[in-house]
Amino acid sequence: MEYMTTASTGAPRWLTDEEQSVWRAYLHATTLLEDHLDRQLQRDAGMPHIYYGLLVQLSQAPRRQKRMTELAKDAKITRSRLSHAVARLEKSGWVRREDCPSDKRGQNAVLTDEGHEMLRGSAPGHVSAVRQAMFDRLTPEQVRSLGEIMQVIAAGLQPEGPNSDLPWLR
């Protein structure tokens, strides 16, 4: 793991001043972006950004349903956090749970017609907020570069193997 320590001494490879500046800018920007999107969705749709993302995933799934473990995996959240979120979405009438026909222990989350309409109604405001906060500020070249960079980072962090610490298994 050379990226964590200097090979010869075992000492940490501290961030350079430039790397520290980039890291802090990244943290600052992602915190502000998530807050911006949360506030917009709370104001316009009465839900946090993570709930909106769950509804989007369900809307794109076959028959607008997805097994709960798959939904947690795709959202990169714990099963406990997903269960709490789905309970809140059920209360709003936007999602319902159904037993999984192929596995009696499993459950599917299903996007209701009301949830689909909520999503359709809130999508234009949300995409406008995303565009205004992010894409309208970048050149086409910066958009391509950012996409490539995020893909490299995500690929390097994607858990692999049976002993991976996977949030959706907690």
Burial class (CB in 10 A: 0-12, 13-18, 19+), 81: middle
pLDDT band at 1 (very low <50, low <70, confident <90, very high): very low
Are 116 and 59 in contact by the 8 Å Cβ rule? The answer is yes
Interval 34-87: pLDDT, tens: 999 999 999 999 999 999 999 999 999 999 999 999 999 899 899 899 999 999
